[in-house]
Structure 1
Amino acid sequence: MPTAGNALFGLLHVYKRALRERYLRDGITLPLSHLRVLGEIGRHDGVMAREVATALLQDKGLITRVTRELEREGLIERHPHPTDSRAAHLALSADGRALRERLDAIEQTLEAQMAAGLSPARTRDFIDTVNAMTDQLDRDQESP
């Protein structure tokens, strides 16, 4: 009998593979983890690493390492935090914005393919269900 977990693993596997293939066809070779961080920074210019970690449900240490690599690649910039000398705001550089636009186009095409044949209501229901499951699992991880 199929389970929600198996269905989710199957979807994630196929989705990640399709993303990697499309990115590579477009000459984009950064790991998916780096591209997710780049996307999150692009959605919230001036975001701090800990906020990126929270949004992506990732460890702050990993996000710090990835942001340093993205900065070395010239894709993001660090700006001093106005009130906390230990923190920095992260923003996309011009090259980072250009890459983000390419990624957005690829992701929109893949999303359209993934949802082809589904009604808008069914797509919204899927998103709501996945978000509810994510919240439930995340809440369980935080409980003692």
Structure 2
Amino acid sequence: MHTRNLADPLQQLTHAYKSHIRRAIQQAGIALPITHVRTLKFIGHTRDCTAQTLTQHMRRDKAQITRALNDLLAGGLIVKRDNPQDRRSQYLHLSAQGEALMQRLQVLESEAAQRMSEGLTNEQLENFIQLARQMANNLNT
């Protein structure tokens, strides 16, 4: 297969997955934009997360990240704690409410992955995961 043929199936897959997750989030009554969900996920998975590391990872401008963080703080989903190494920054952590929401989101993602992988063998899934990681790494370096 020529590499030019990769674009269409990748776009179809990412669009189908994102659409499915958005619908599942809406149906679950979670009233958060996808950017906020991605922000919560990163904070939940990153030790010593700061607004700066979040901005770099998400490749968004500082104003967008600040708005998302302010919304999440106001919603009680995250908390800030002083960074003992740098008084100018604060560490971001999920609150108990944020942890509970992350658990709900993980269930939705697990259900999406289960549906998406129906009819595939474990070997096919492992190959896909390796290939997808390699392709992402190729683009990120």
Same fold (TM over 0.5): yes
Any gaps of 5 or more consecutive residues in structure 2?
none
Q: Render the CA deviation track for 1:81-139: whole Å, top value 9, x for unaligned.
A: 01101111100011111111111111111111111111122112112111111111222
Q: 1:75 to 1:128 in 2, by over 3 A?
A: same
What does 1:48-67 correspond to in 2, within 5 Å? 48-56=50-58, 58-59=59-60, 61=62, 62-67=64-69
Q: Render the CA deviation track for 1:7-66: whole Å, top value 9, x for unaligned.
A: 11111111111111111111012111110110121123542223334444x235133332
Q: Tell me which amino acid in the other structure corresponds to 1:74.
A: G
What does 1:25-104 correspond to in 2, within 5 Å? 25-56=27-58, 58-59=59-60, 61=62, 62-104=64-106
**Secondary structure, in 3 states, of the residue corresponding to 2:120?**
coil
Once structures 1 and 2 are overlaid, which stretch shifts more, 122-131 or 15-24?
Answer: 122-131
**Number of residue pairs aligned between Structure 1 and Structure 2:** 138
Any gaps of 5 or more consecutive residues in structure 1?
140-144
User: Percent identity, aligned pairs only?
Assistant: 31
Q: 1:63 to 1:120 in 2, by over 3 A?
A: farther
Q: TM-score, normalised by structure 1?
A: 0.86
Contact 1:49 / 1:60 at 8 angstroms: preserved in 2? no
Q: Tell me which amino acid in the other structure corresponds to 1:49.
A: A
Q: Tell me which amino acid in the other structure corresponds to 1:123.
A: L
Quick one: which of 130, 135, 139 aligns to 1:137?
139
Q: For 2:124 and 2:7, how far apart are their aligned partners in 1?
A: 19
Q: For 1:81 and 1:5, how far apart are their aligned partners in 2?
A: 42
